[in-house]
Amino acid sequence: MPKVLIADKLSTAAVNIFKMRGVEVDVKTGLTKEELLKIVDQYDGIAIRSATKITKDVIAVAKKLKVVGRAGIGVDNVDIPAATAAGVIVMNTPFGNSITTAEHAIALMMALARELPAANASTHAGKWEKNRFMGVELYGKTLGLIGAGNIGSIVADRAKGLKMHVVAFDPYLSAESAEEKGIEKVELDDLLARADFITLHTPLTPETKGILSAEALAKTKKGVRIINCARGGLIDEAALKAALDSGQVAGAALDVFAEEPAKANPLFGNEKVVCTPHLGASTEEAQENVALQVAEQISDYLLTGAIVNALNMPSISAQEAQLVKPWISLAEKLGAFAGQLTETSIQAVEILYEGSAAKLNQRALTQAALAGLLKAHMPEVNMVNAPLVAKERGIKVSETRRDQQGIYEGYIQIKVVTPEMTRAVAGTVFADGHPRLIQVKDIKLDAEFAPNMIYVTNEDKPGFIGRLGTLLGDTKVNIANFTLGRSAPGDDSIALVQVDGEVPQAVLDAIRKLPLVKSAKALKF
Ligand SMILES: NC(=O)c1ccc[n+]([C@@H]2O[C@H](COP(=O)([O-])OP(=O)(O)OC[C@H]3O[C@@H](n4cnc5c(N)ncnc54)[C@H](O)[C@@H]3O)[C@@H](O)[C@H]2O)c1
Ligand SMILES: O=C(O)CC[C@@H](O)C(=O)O
């Protein structure tokens, strides 16, 4: 039974889902990094919110870990490259808290416009300072969105209801999509110059870090009000403090901070600043949504192989996972076969999916094929990191789909191009669900994959099979199965021998010395 750790406070709905689905679950929140490092190797999955950091060193010791599920959107607390390199899938729940967070941004904008927190504190203190507080209307004002994805778009929709004019800077927002949402797409400088309110809704990336820098703040309309419900690092906090002091910025409402938990911050104590402790996603509805979703997604992956909302793998539904599993195994084995026969650098990999194989999840199959291929010489490669490793090594990967043309209902062919040669191998999955090798170079055959095999190329002349059998018998290598293939009588031929156990190097050397043998290699699957 797979075992999952819930490391941050999640709605109890998550625990119930895990238990109902047959996943063992431990809830241990508030762990220090050292405590997490000590126990993390027991778990197949970890469910987190934003507090727990899944760093490279956590991943390095989490030997069983297969999946990290973020109950929320931002995954900046997970080292995704390290997870990818270790074959750990990282998932989030991209929509479960979007409405809630958008509403928080609107609430903060209202609070800023009417100084609600300060007026509330003053009234509770019995001061009745009616003349101290003078707000501004939102009606007719320009709201500048930096980032117009899920949350930004909901904020835009609500702001339009408040009769604001919405402009957005988002390089990835198409003009058509902006028009559909009733948003004016603008450049950042234009937004800074025109917006009465600016609200941030981008992830924290090297491009967005400090997007509201001292220079950017200097370009804003004097008296602008700023809302940040996305990530702390998007605003240079020292620059914001200076801009508030100078009056360039009239107020800021911040849910997120450069350092969290934010116990001390240069902006604390400033009466122009409204703060909340990263509450953007904190509603009953959103927490129920993300907890349910993350528990479902983690369970699905661990129990059925279904992948949803992963940031480092293509999605695969549970039904699809069932169907695609034997083909993934075939793709990986074909890749492994080609990889073990390739001893030089690889320039390109061309994968052909035919018939029923062409209807399956191509990205997953290609990732499996690449993993098998590259793992032959780089054991750390896995299905998750294979495309990245191939890209880093300059290997050109291409895929072709085609309708059934041959006798097989479906098959996969992998062609590996090296500076010296191009080698193609192909396979299919029979009704028993077992992958079969059906073609090596241009030679047709029908062989199952086995953990230990010997691959021999030889001249197709009488005497070879007997000599090979005798040699293996004499050296106590037991033959489990023997498959032969040749392009034409007397031409080059192939022998694929399934053997029980590893093939000693001395035996391989002896095979290579047999008459008619051109090459011999031990293969492992
Ligand atoms: N305060 C909270 O509790 C809370 C809750 C939920 C989400 N968030 C944060 O809100 C942010 C947005 O979430 P979302 O669901 O809308 O994400 P999203 O991916 O749907 O949208 C992000 C948008 O940012 C845009 N973007 C990326 N780089 C950009 C750049 N350099 N300049 C301008 N725009 C850029 C993208 O094109 C995209 O449209 C995330 O960082 C998330 O972590 C915070
Ligand atoms: O879990 C939370 O409370 C915050 C979530 C939020 O930052 C997110 O990115 O989804």
User: Of the residues 73, 92, 104, 228, which should be mutated to test ligand 2's pocket, given the most ligand atoms within 8 Å of the CB?
Assistant: 73
On whether residue 335 sits in a domain, the answer given is yes
Q: Print the SS3 string covering 430-461.
A: CCCCCEEEEEECCEEEEEECCCEEEEEEEECC
Domain of 475, in residue numbers: 451-525
Write down which residue in 418, 441, 464 finishes a domain. Answer: 441
Position 489 pLDDT exceeds 90:
no
Q: What is the Cβ-side half-sphere exposure of residue 274, based on CA atoms within 13 angstroms? A: 28
Residue 226's CATH number: 3.40.50.720
- SS3 string, 219-266, reads CCCCCEEEEECCCHHHECHHHHHHHHHHCCEEEEEECCCCCCCCCCCC
Residue type, 358: A
Catalytic positions are 231, 260, 278
Residue 191 in contact with residue 135, Cβ under 8 Å?
no
Domain identity same for 212 and 264:
yes
Q: Is the pLDDT of residue 279 over 90?
A: yes
Nearest to 494 by CA among 437, 451, 434: 437
**Does residue 262 sit in the same domain as residue 124?**
yes
Query: Does residue 318 have a pLDDT over 90?
Result: no
Is pLDDT of 460 > 90? no
Question: Are 351 and 369 contacting, i.e. CB atoms less than 8 angstroms apart?
Answer: yes
| Strand, helix or coil for residue 327 | helix
Would 246 be classed as within a structural domain?
yes
Residue at a domain's end among 419, 441, 463 = 441
CA of residue 462 relative to chain centroid, distance = 54
Residue 446 within a domain = no
Instruction: Read off the pLDDT band of 85 (50, 70, 90).
Output: confident
Task: Identify any residues that bridge with 4 across adjacent strands, giving them in sequence order.
Answer: 25, 45
Which pLDDT score, from 0 to 100, does residue 386 have? 92
Q: How far is the CA of 169 from the centre of ligand 1 (A)?
A: 12
What is the number of structural domains in the chain?
Answer: 4
Predicted local confidence at residue 245, as pLDDT:
98
Rounded Cα gap, residues 96 and 297, in angstroms: 13
SS3 state at 47: strand
**What DSSP string runs through 163-215?**
T-EEEEE-TTS-HHHHHHTT-EE--HHHHHHH-SEEEE-----TTTTTSB-HH
Same-domain pairing of 105 and 152: yes
Regarding whether 523 and 374 lie in a shared domain, the answer is no
CA of 223 to the centre of ligand 2 (A): 29
229 lines ligand 1 (CB under 6 A): yes
Residue 487 has pLDDT above 90, yes or no: no
Pocket test for ligand 2, best of 6, 101, 287 (most atoms within 8 A of CB): 101
Nearest to 51 by CA among 28, 26, 77, 73: 77
Ligand whose nearest atom lies closest to the CA of 51: 2
* Alpha-carbon distances, residue 442 vs 286, 336, 525 (angstroms): 57, 18, 22
| Cα–Cα dist 182/165, whole Å | 9
What six digits make up the tokens of 186? 């603008």
* Per-residue pLDDT at 88: 94
Q: What's the CATH number where 470 sits?
A: 3.30.70.260
Sheet strand arrangement including 197-200: 184-185, 165-169, 142-146, 197-200, 224-228, 249-254, 273-275
Q: How far apart are CA 75 and CA 463, in angstroms?
A: 63
In a domain, 280, yes or no: no
ipTM of the complex model = 0.99
